[in-house]
Every structure is written in structure tokens, then in C-alpha cells.
Amino acid sequence: MTTAPDPDAPRLPERQRRRGPIITTIVVAAVVVIAVVVTLVLVNRPNGGSGAAAAGDDRPARTVTIGIADISQPYWKTFASLAKQRLNVTVKYVNFTDYSQPNPALKQQQLDLNEFQHLQYLANYNITSGDDLQPIGATAIYPLPLYSAKYDAASKLPAKAKVAIPNDAVNEARGLLVLQSAGLLTLKGGGTAFSTTKDIATAKIEVQPIDASQTATALKNGSVAAAIVNKNYAVDAGLPKSQVIARDDPSSAAAEPYVNAFVARKADADDPVLIKLAALYHTASVTDEVQRENGGDAVFETWGPEKLQQILAKVQADAKAAQ
């Protein structure tokens, strides 16, 4: 991981000692003080064209360190500029290439926030680590698509058609929920974010769990009629959007665990500055860049701490029940 070093603390010059003060010195000093005060008043008077900056300068300065996993994305630079302008917050980023690191780093107070995960991932972390990190501001849901090169609608898949889904715990459950929403199968109890193929109650198609990295290959070589393919693998394989025949419904309760969010330690979950900082993500200049970098697939959600924490609590309860 990489982070910018903190600048050296500024040091004030030593005050010079005066020997044998006299009245003339006192008078001169008084004049100097008056001049300095007048200068400061003039310098700090608001002026046209700098309203946003002046408003930000009225707030206490603060530095917030955020852990992310995509520091090369241009919207993070825009986000940091907004934080300084509107909140007088200096944002420092720590970039991670290993998803297992940002949550422990947050717990150990190396970070103030992180933004890289959806709520299901956070729930799994909290349960397995015994931690209690909390989401404080939603960013976006990235729908998980079902692709087919042969059929233009899920309803047109023939009976017993082979459909590949990722076989890892996080994406298998989500893939099954996508197939259920497309009317291709049903899951016991309606399914959860922790369902497996063992929870399939009825199915019109034949589900084939395979490594996530092989789903696009299986689709392209024709060994399956359709496949759930994660965004990064779909992009790498050059799968066109025209081949998407189903995906998550971002407005459904089933998609809620997959909303990405800014996450804080529980002790900081009601920090008003951190909450306002997370909300800046939904400024148009940021979201426009997010959409441009993600091909327009981001579905933004502006949920605050209360709703996010309610969703997290439910997902964690489901996770414990699935153990």
C-alpha cells in the first residue's frame, strides 16, 4: 500500500528578548499591533468570486485518510478537491491491491474511512473477525449481468440450458439471485446473500458453478448457453452490453447487500464531518466521472448511515444463520 508522508509540523520563530523596554518601544509596538490587526481584517474580508473557499476556511481544518482500491481513477482527485473546498478537509488516500487489508487497517486506526466494498463483504468481515465496522454513506451498486451470445432474452433460454455462474461464495449467491429474478429458478425461502446451489428449489435451466475467471470463456466457446460474468471479466473478454439478457434489479431488496459504501469504525459512525464527506461522492462532478470510467453501469444510492446499518444488520443475521 502507498501513502503520502505527513509534512513536517511548522515551527514558529523564537521570540526575541528585549532588554530595558522604554516608552518609545512600547508606543512603536502598539502601532505595529494596530497595523497588523487592520491588515488581518482587510485580508480576511469576504470578496466576490471566493465564497466557496471562504466558507470552507471558516470550518476547522482536518485531515481524513481514506483506504481505496482504485487510486488511478480520476474521480478521487475531484473528490479530494471538493472536500477541501467545501469542508476544509484534506483527504489523503491509501491504495490497497489486496482486498483483505483495508478493513484491518481501519480497525487499527491507520485509516479514518475506507471505500472499496459492498455490504455483503463487510458483513462477512465483521462476522469472521469479530469486528463491528459500520457503513456511513452509500456510493453505488454495480449490477451483476447474465450474458448470452445465442439468446436475446432470459425467457428464450431452452429447458435444461447450461448456465454458468461464479463458484465463489460471494458471487455464487448473487448469481443465483439474478437467475431467480430472471424467472429461471427459485430458491428456498426466496434466497439470501448466502444462498448456494443446494438452496435451489426449482430450476428451468442447469446451473454450472465454475471459477469466476472462466465464465466469460465458457460463454465465448459455446460450452454454456448463458453465463453470469463479473464486470471486470466481461470487460477483459470484450463482451458487449447487447449480450446482457438479465441483471440485478437495483431497486429490489435482493440487491441492497451489494451497495458499496464508505465505512468507519463504530466509534466514528456518527461523526458529522465524515458523514458529510461521504455525501460529497454524490456531487455531479464526481458521479459523472464514475459513470464515464464504468461505462454507465453505476447505479447510485444516497442512503445514509441509518438505512445502511439496518441492511448490514440483516445481512449479518443471514450470514450467522447460514453458518
pLDDT tens profile 58-86: 679 999 999 998 898 999 999 999 999 99
Residue written as cell 470510467?
Answer: 293
Q: Which fold has domain 145-247?
A: D-Maltodextrin-Binding Protein; domain 2 (3.40.190)
How far apart are the C-alpha atoms of 2 and 39, rounded to whole Å?
Answer: 42
- How big is the chain by its Cα radius of gyration, in Å? 27
Q: Residue 57's pLDDT is what? A: 59
C-alpha–C-alpha distance, residues 114 and 66, integer Å? 5
Angle CA(278)–CA(293)–CA(141) in degrees, nearest 5?
50
Span 17-48, pLDDT tens digits: 333 443 333 333 333 333 333 333 333 433 33
pLDDT given for residue 233 in this prediction:
83
Which of 146, 69, 149 is CA-nearest to residue 102?
69
Q: State which residues of the chain have pLDDT below 50.
A: 1-56
> If DSSP codes are grouped into helix, strand and coil, which group holds residue 2?
strand
Total-model pTM = 0.69
> What is the rounded distance in angstroms from the CA atom of residue 190 to the CA atom of residue 202?
11
- Model pLDDT, residue 10: 36
CATH of 60-142+255-322, one of 3.40.190.10, 3.40.50.1370, 3.30.470.10, 3.10.129.10: 3.40.190.10
CATH 3.40.190.10 maps onto the chain at 60-142+255-322, 145-247
State the greatest distance between any 2 C-alpha atoms of the chain, in Å, as a whole number. Answer: 103
E-assigned strand segments in the chain: 62-68, 89-95, 113-118, 134-141, 145-147, 162-166, 185-187, 200-203, 206-210, 226-228, 244-247, 259-264, 299-300
pLDDT of residue 134: 98
Enumerate the β-bridge partners of residue 166.
Answer: 210
CA dist list (Å): 42 to 22, 57, 161: 31, 16, 76
Decide if 122 contacts 223 (C-beta within 8 A): no
